[in-house]
Structure 1
């Protein structure tokens, strides 16, 4: 087959126009085109009056070699070449004489894709998840949102599906993917119930409700292949001897029973909020270093403003959906202010996992039809901003999360302020056009002490500057809600080329918690790569 790219058609083109455009690009008669399928569809909204759809298609034609030779010689528009082989091939199979089973800590995107890949290769992994099954976990999460009741082991951060379950469900990434592992991830997601469009739209997403069912089906597949998932099981300690992992001390949270699990291949896929696990690993001498991350607020606007700014008269078009945005401002004090985890037509959610702290995040359903758009409005920081040991970033996060809890009223309400008041340096006392979506609720006031002064200064400079990119961005009634502190892990658990910890053999740091991913798709891809490394190591060492 051949892949043609950059086929540009009007937004509302008739279905037959795509076939016609393919024939024209190929320069062949209709009977020579045997078949075609859309590989990718995106849109070009740079001219709001003439938004276009951009296609990449895979085509099957008669006498493919001759057609390809002619097209390459013509040097015409777009790119043409053989359709790449994107099929996934397992790197090995588990030997029948396998002595131990690999253990995976965490059932987020990285953990469940590592488990699925290992199970498909016959390794029968054991997955340890401190949280609950996804539907039970959803009820606990609603307990915080609706009743201000926090379960520290079952919440937005901990439980089956990981933090990505309560997010926009974005399934795109800017990482390099020469092996097309993203295709395996998306294919597995479709098999588990995700909409088939995630295979071809340019910025696919699923949304929380669909993610719940999908995660359950992936769990069932892992178990059908001999894997085992133990929920409400927290890893209390890692046993390390002579620089090698020998096993795990775990506690069953519902019975308080303790157990030792012998293991010499352990995947650490705990997410960016497993602070007690990071502290335990640091105490055990596993190499960890501090890393940059970002802090800020959530900012909410009417979704209609973003749609109109991006799409003009085509705002609301079903093929375009709710508009998103991405921007950055380099402030005069040297800080970068940027949008993070933008959720079109979504809500701001309570995302704390520790008592006495407030953390915000964003979430959307598949429909993205809520009234507001929200995004992280964050400022980059480095370890120089929080000097100390490798875990100093965690203490820094906790300080500002505790401050947000105080400003919100000590009841898990989040502190908030209207953008106009934030810019003017006065407390907010009443809402305007934008009704904040955060639950349990928002306590209006003054956010100037909710973050370090350098962050507040940079954000106050950025808001009017970004107005030039998105008209209405600095509107008086837009709402800031604090605080967003868990944009990424504040640590990095470094690993070598074999995916093992630099100083602890048999420990495979993975995903967002170890700072090798930043989102559902990249975490899932990392899970596959780590699973392959585990499988090859177990075969080589006859573990």
Structure 2
């Protein structure tokens, strides 16, 4: 098979991908047996001249003939097809079924790998199944009851279930293709296998996580909802020996995969009380900003995306202040909405979300400023209290009813009285107020510098009527559960922290990868509990 890179074509496409490949390799389309698109991206550097750029893998009827002709071409190389092969099991005997805590990406990945390997994991999820959870979240967004155990942060699929479902990652790892294929097998759209910035969308992602649960159960695993792990017991040697669920039920185990997510604050405190080594880590806080999607499309493409048949445009912006702070866009959601993402009573948290079609007509992104470990005070859990402080201020400024404080960019920059803005999507509602009162001074001062800078990058970005909503505090975990090279928590043998909550991942793909690699480490060490035939 040959990999052919840098296949460029104008937008909209006037030739088939087969014709473009044949032209680049100076062969006939009839020579091509089949084509697999590996990557598709948009090049808008010379707008309004927009190009699609493809990388494809091509099988030919006579590969040797084609290879002799183009072997010296810089955009063509020969590749071998490879399939994922699970690791060979170890020989240490497991006395009990392994436990996985959490059904976010890292927990699902670990549980699925262990189940398929014959280890029969038990998965404990503190929240509800995705259908019940979705109903609870919609009720809350419509002004109804807030539920501390069933919300945007807790429940089947983790926090990513109510997001854009972005699958981008800075990590370059051979397992990523296998992960994407696993998601496709669970119902994700096939184009995630080749799109430059792949996303699933919250509407499809809900079905994907449900299907992954069924895959785990069919492979021998057990998934339990409304089951919060309230204690992890260790023996006299410090090894994990049991977990306590909901304060009363005890399950003996040798292995606990801890995929709690970045918002399980009570679990962090439990781990701290039980002597698990934790440390502070940097994170970021800020606001959500919203624009008419056409403003972003025109800034990025030079025209409306629909005119060229392109997806709604996204952006990635960063500003470095003279004081050493950075302000950057985070979790940008084209055609989406800002959502209420609280997980504790009396606190307001924002997040962004998009459906698969990204067709709301409104773009949103977090604009956040880095928070260092020196900013938050002493102790490994100081970052949590820092987050809580500003979430409580936001709750009070919003009216103590889970409405979010909001302000226009013009009012924020000019220090004028808050006035209603043009575009805002946050439910259950917003209260117009001064965002300077709900964020640290170093965050608001950096935002004041960054907004005009971003306005020079994308025209209209800092227009007076643009709306910002606060507060965005859950960009990443403020805590790291320290682990060794064996992927176990320091001084807690058998405890395997994974994913965003452990402080070793950021986003769906890196969390999924972390969970899978940890499961593979467990597989290499232990014998399965049952023999897998044709596994």
| Length-normalised TM-score, structure 1 | 0.94
The match for 1:336 is 326
Matches within 5 A, 1:300-339: 300-317=290-307, 319-339=309-329
Quick check: 2:297–2:303 contact (8 Å CA) kept in 1?
A: no
The match for 2:533 is none
The match for 2:225 is 231
Quick check: 2:89–2:526 contact (8 Å CA) kept in 1?
A: no
Query: Do residues 190 (structure 1) and 184 (structure 2) align?
Result: yes
SS for the counterpart of 1:508 is strand
Give CA-to-partner distance per residue, 1:34-61, whole Å, 9 cap, x none.
Answer: 3222221111011222111111111112
The match for 1:254 is none
Give CA-to-partner distance per residue, 1:472-504, whole Å, 9 cap, x none.
Answer: 011001011000001000011122222111221
Give CA-to-partner distance per residue, 1:13-72, whole Å, 9 cap, x none.
Answer: 2243x3233223323344433322222111101122211111111111244345435434
The match for 2:24 is 25
Output the CA distance in 2 between the equivalents of 1:483 and 1:30.
54
Cα distance, 1:84–1:497 mapped onto 2, change above 3 Å:
farther
Q: How many residue pairs were aligned? A: 529
User: Cα offset for 1:333?
Assistant: 2.1
Matches within 5 A, 1:225-304: 225-241=219-235, 242-251=237-246, 258-304=248-294
Output the CA distance in 2 between the equivalents of 1:86 and 1:522.
21
Choose from 398, 421, 425 the match for 2:415. 425
Choose from 146, 151, 157 the match for 1:150. 146
Give CA-to-partner distance per residue, 1:400-442, whole Å, 9 cap, x none.
Answer: 000001110111000010000000112313x2432x1111100
Quick check: 1:148–1:411 contact (8 Å CA) kept in 2?
A: no
SS for the counterpart of 1:58 is strand
The match for 1:13 is 13
Choose from 422, 427, 448 the match for 1:439. 427
User: Cα offset for 1:314?
Assistant: 5.0
Query: Do residues 113 (structure 1) and 102 (structure 2) align?
Result: no
Output the CA distance in 2 between the equivalents of 1:264 and 1:318.
56
Cα distance, 1:537–1:95 mapped onto 2, change above 3 Å:
closer
Matches within 5 A, 1:371-520: 371-429=361-419, 431-434=420-423, 436-520=424-508
User: Cα offset for 1:77?
Assistant: 4.6
Which segment drifts farther, 329-338 or 289-298?
329-338
Output the CA distance in 1 between the equivalents of 2:392 and 2:440.
13
Cα distance, 1:285–1:432 mapped onto 2, change above 3 Å:
closer
Cα distance, 1:212–1:449 mapped onto 2, change above 3 Å:
same
SS for the counterpart of 2:243 is strand
Output the CA distance in 1 between the equivalents of 2:168 and 2:349.
24
Cα distance, 1:113–1:541 mapped onto 2, change above 3 Å:
closer
Choose from 197, 201, 216 the match for 2:210. 216
Query: Do residues 47 (structure 1) and 82 (structure 2) align?
Result: no
User: Cα offset for 1:148?
Assistant: 4.2
SS for the counterpart of 1:384 is helix
The match for 1:4 is 4
| Length-normalised TM-score, structure 2 | 0.95
Output the CA distance in 2 between the equivalents of 1:419 and 1:31.
57
SS for the counterpart of 1:468 is helix
Query: Do residues 137 (structure 1) and 128 (structure 2) align?
Result: no
CA RMSD of aligned residues (A): 1.9
SS for the counterpart of 2:45 is coil
Give the unaligned 5+ runs of structure 2.
Answer: 531-535
Cα distance, 1:330–1:62 mapped onto 2, change above 3 Å:
same
Output the CA distance in 1 between the equivalents of 2:506 and 2:464.
32
The match for 1:60 is 59
